[in-house]
Amino acid sequence: MVVMMAQLTLGSAVLFAYLAARGELAPIAHLDSLQWSYVVATGIILLLFTVTAFLAIRLIRVAAVTAIGTGAPIVTIAVDLISNRPPHLAGDAFGLILTFVAVVTILIIGLRQERPTAALATGAVRPKDEGAS
């Protein structure tokens, strides 16, 4: 819980520091109620995502949790393509391919690490030191 709160707080601080460095903090004071409702709604979505990710880490490997979050841009692009939105720039295609390769790599590494653990848990494979005797 402490790590999650620290992550959200640090992330917010970095965003505010970025806005301050660019001199763009003043417009925040002029947001209307509809705009503040979007700020609150997206903040709640981010909080729920973070809570879900931290709870998922307790149940499955970090690599799988990371891969799911990293794959979000791919899903967003797919939704854009399905909804007939304008195509993305060629530079975005490179980033999308790079993200896809990263997600697949993380999943492959995570699945390879889980197989030996699962086999040992089910008794399908004996630990190396037991087989030596």
Task: Using the CB atoms, write b or e for 94-125: b if 16+ within 10 Å.
Answer: eebeebeeebeebbeebeeeeeeeeeeeeeee
The predicted model scores a pTM of 0.53
Alpha helices by DSSP H, 83-125: 90-122
**Sorting pLDDT into bands at 50, 70 and 90, what band is 21?**
very high
Q: Measured between alpha carbons, how far is residue 58 from residues 12, 64, 106, 132 in Å?
A: 25, 12, 18, 33
- Mean pLDDT of the residues in the chain: 78
Classify each residue of 10-30 as buried b or exposed e, where b means 16 or more C-beta atoms within 10 Å of its C-beta: eeeeeeeeeeeeeeeeeeeee
| Residue 20 reports pLDDT greater than 60 | yes
d(CA 49, CA 20): 26
Helices (H), 29-71: 33-59, 62-70
CB 8 within 8 A of CB 50: yes
pLDDT of 84-105, one tens digit each? Answer: 776 565 567 777 788 788 878 8
